[in-house]
Structure 1
């Protein structure tokens, strides 16, 4: 019974870690896209100056 409870906690923990990893990956990809957009905007506005 004890092992069953521990196993459930471990599974929940692993699931939580995987969700956090996915969120971080998603945020990093968004951040990269934002950086690219900002860089393009900066270069274009600088070029027109």
Structure 2
């Protein structure tokens, strides 16, 4: 609990929003990467047959 207060207590509302936005972007990027990996895997498996 104290750790949360230490990290978020000193942050302004703007910084908090920016941090949340950055986390959100990272999440979207990793989803796209996962999707691309799945597509690549299915292409590879087609070639294997």
Tell me, yes or no, whether TM beats 0.5: yes
- 5+ residue gaps in structure 2? 1-10
Give the root-mean-square deviation of aligned CA atoms. 1.1
Report how many aligned residue pairs link the two structures: 39
Which of the pair has the greater relative contact order for Cα pairs under 8 Å at 6+ separation? 2
After TM superposition, where is structure 1 displaced by more than 6 Å over at least 4 residues in a row?
A: none
- 5+ residue gaps in structure 1? 40-49
Q: What TM-score, normalized to structure 2?
A: 0.74
Q: Is 1:5 equivalent to 2:15 in the alignment?
A: yes
* Structure with bigger gyration radius: 1
Task: Specify which structure has the higher proportion of helix.
Answer: 1
